[in-house]
């Protein structure tokens, strides 16, 4: 079951729907938060009941998809793939040892990534910081987690990151990671169990001036952490009354001489979740 958040008119109010092929079955007649369904005790049954009452459908091409987030905090896990560990070691010579340590440690690297207003949905520009020289997309499987810390679904996330700022000093991580337009989510949330996503291909493609300038792929099977452990560590001594979205780390890193440029288009696809496409703009 894939749920989407959308508007019918550019400035229209957000709605929630069930994607069925190329059409959307609207869920609920009045305003409804996506998280009201996601945080229900039985989200799939709640969707079925709301869909059965729907009187109409919309073609997906006629709506504007929004990021599938309401009030959740967005968090990130770092250095969960060997490829990411290697990239961090290369970019931050003097702090390289910390990345090796965290890759092997029991406690994972978890960092605050975004509040909803910093997140963009499909088709909306992700941003390059004005004071950054080296920016990359990070294509990541995103876990959708309820206030009771139950993993309810999955979406695609882009943890856009400024590698020069992060590489200069690891204490600059929040500035490398958190700024307006630093994160993209979408296109929808698929309700599924953890086991369904333990071995899914993630693909990244970056287009510049009509040509593909980078492409790469990995699988969630190469992740060195379990989804359940990341959620449990994040939930230690803290609560999430509005739920959370957790980006699980990148396993695809473009070569070190690559940086995003305004006008690029970033496309991330994950088997079973569709594709998230965003143009790139400078802040």
Summarize as ranges the residues that interact with Mg ion (CB under 5 A).
Answer: 138, 159, 250
Least distance (Å) from ligand DO4 to the CB of residue 38? 24
Alpha carbons 31 and 38: distance in angstroms, whole number: 15
- Contacted by 109, from Mg ion, ligand DO4, none: CB < 5 to 8 Å by type: ligand DO4
Site for ligand DO4 in 230-249 (CB under 6 A): 249
Using rule CB under 6 A, residue 207 touches ligand DO4: no
Q: Under 8 Å CB-to-CB from 15, ≥6 apart: which residues?
A: 5, 6, 7, 8, 26, 27, 28, 31, 32
Answer for which of 17, 43, 78, 153 binds ligand DO4 (CB under 6 A) is 78
Using rule CB under 6 A, residue 163 touches ligand DO4: no
Residue with smaller CB distance to Mg ion, 124 or 250: 250
Using rule CB under 6 A, residue 84 touches ligand DO4: yes
Using rule CB under 6 A, residue 167 touches ligand DO4: no
Site track for ligand DO4 across 97-136, x = CB under 6 A? ------------x---------------------------
Least distance (Å) from Mg ion to the CB of residue 7? 29
- Contacted by 79, from ligand DO4, Mg ion, none: CB < 5 to 8 Å by type: ligand DO4
Using rule CB under 6 A, residue 68 touches ligand DO4: no
């Amino acid at each position: 079951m894939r749920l989407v958040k959308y508007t019918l008119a550019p400035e229209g109010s957000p709605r929630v729907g069930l994607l069925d092929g190329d059409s959307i079955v609207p869920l609920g007649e009045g305003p409804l938060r996506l998280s009201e369904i996601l945080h229900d005790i039985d989200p799939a049954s709640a969707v079925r009941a709301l869909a059965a009452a729907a009187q109409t459908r919309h073609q997906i091409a006629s709506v504007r998809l929004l990021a599938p987030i309401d009030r959740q905090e967005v968090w990130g896990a770092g250095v969960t793939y060997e490829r990411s560990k290697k990239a961090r070691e290369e970019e931050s010579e003097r702090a390289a040892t910390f990345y090796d340590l965290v890759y092997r440690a029991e406690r994972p690297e978890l960092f605050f990534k975004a509040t909803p207003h910093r997140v963009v949905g499909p088709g909306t520009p992700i941003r390059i910081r004005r004071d950054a020289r080296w920016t990359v997309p990070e294509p990541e499987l995103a876990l959708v987690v309820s206030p009771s810390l139950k993993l309810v679904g999955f979406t695609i996330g882009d943890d856009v990151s400024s590698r020069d700022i992060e590489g200069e000093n690891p204490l600059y991580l929040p500035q490398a990671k958190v700024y307006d337009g630093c994160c993209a989510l979408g296109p929808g949330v698929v309700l599924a169990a953890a086991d369904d996503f333990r071995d899914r291909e993630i693909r990244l493609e970056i287009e510049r001036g009509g040509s593909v300038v980078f492409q790469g792929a990995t699988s969630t099977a190469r992740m060195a952490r379990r989804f359940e452990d990341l959620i449990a560590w994040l939930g230690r001594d803290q609560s999430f009354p509005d739920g959370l979205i957790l980006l699980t780390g990148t396993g695809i890193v473009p070569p070190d001489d690559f940086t995003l440029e305004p006008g690029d288009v970033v496309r991330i696809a994950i088997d079973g979740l569709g594709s998230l496409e965003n143009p790139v703009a400078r802040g």
